[in-house]
Structure 1
Amino acid sequence: MEHPEDVSIVRLDGGQVPEFDWAAGPFASLTRTPDETSIVCLTAAVPAGVRTEGPFRVVEVAGPLSFGSVGVVAEVVEPLVDADISVLAFSTFDTDWVLVPAGQTDEAATAWRRAGLIITPTSLTGGSS
C-alpha cells in the first residue's frame, strides 16, 4: 500500500533520543546506534535545524508477514533497482516498509506493476485515500 504523506529521515548524533512529540506518528521509526540516531517520521513534523533527507513516500508490504518468509524485501526492491530508483527498506515486527523518493512514486508503481506486484493507495493518518 502506498501512503500519500511525505516522510523524511532525520539524523541525530549518536545515542541521542529526542522528545517524541514530533516523531511520534502516525508513522515513525527510530533506530539508534553508538554513532547515530535515525528517525523516519512525517516531514511536516520535523523540527527546524536537524539534518534531514527526503521527502519520501512510504510503501507498506501487506502483512503481517511470517518471520520465516524468505525474499519478500528482495521481491519488492529488485524492480526498483532495475528502474534505477533509490530505496530504503526496513522491517517492523509485522511487515516490511519501503521508502521511495516522493518524486519517483509513479515510476516505482510502474516498475512494481511490471513485476506483477499490486499497489494500492492508503493513508497513514487513517482510512483510504
Structure 2
Amino acid sequence: MDIKVLSHKFTVCKVSDISMIHFTDEFLFIGKTDEELSLVCTTEHAPESTMEREDGWKGFRIEGVLDFSLVGILSQISGLLAGNDIGIFAVSTYNTDYILTKEENFDSALKVLKDAGYHMVF
C-alpha cells in the first residue's frame, strides 16, 4: 500500500466561529459537534484567533480511493505507530484516511511504516 507524504505543516485547533476559517486552504478538515468546532488546516492558513491551538503536525495519506468494504487499514497503521510510542491524529474523508503525527515523530513514523512494508510516495 502506498503512503503519500504531505509537505505541509498542520495545525489542529478549536474556533468559535466558522467565519474564521480560510476555505481556500488546500487541506481543510472541519469537525462540528454540539460541544465544539474543530479545525485541521495548514499552519500558514490557521486562524489568528483560536480558542485552543496546537501547531507542529505533519502528515501523510493512504493513496488511492479506499472502498468502504475495506476494514482495518487505519487500525493497522495506528497500531504500528502506537506500538512504537507514536501518537496520531487521524482524519477520514470520503476517499481515504489522513494521519498526522507530531513533527518530532514524523520521520520515525515513516520508518516504522516503511519497515512494515508500506511504500512511501513523496
Q: TM-score, normalised by structure 1?
A: 0.84
Which of 2, 10, 13 is 2:13 aligned to?
10
Q: CA RMSD in A?
A: 1.4
One-letter amino acid matched to 1:36: E
Matches within 5 A, 1:1-129: 1-13=4-16, 16-20=17-21, 22-50=22-50, 51-121=52-122
TM-score by length of 2: 0.89
- In structure 2, the gaps of 5 or more residues are none
Deviation at 1:23, TM superposition (A): 4.4
After TM superposition, give the deviation of residue 102 of structure 1 in Å.
1.4
1:113: Cα distance to partner?
1.3
The answer (yes or no) to whether the contact 1:23–1:45 under 8 Å persists in 2 is no
Task: Report which of the two has the higher share of strand.
Answer: 2
Query: How many residues in Structure 1 have an aligned counterpart in Structure 2?
Result: 118
- Please tell me whether the aligned partners of residues 24 and 41 of structure 1 are also in contact (alpha carbons under 8 angstroms): no
For 1:49, give the aligned amino acid.
S
Equivalents in 1 of 2:24, 2:30: separation in Å? 10
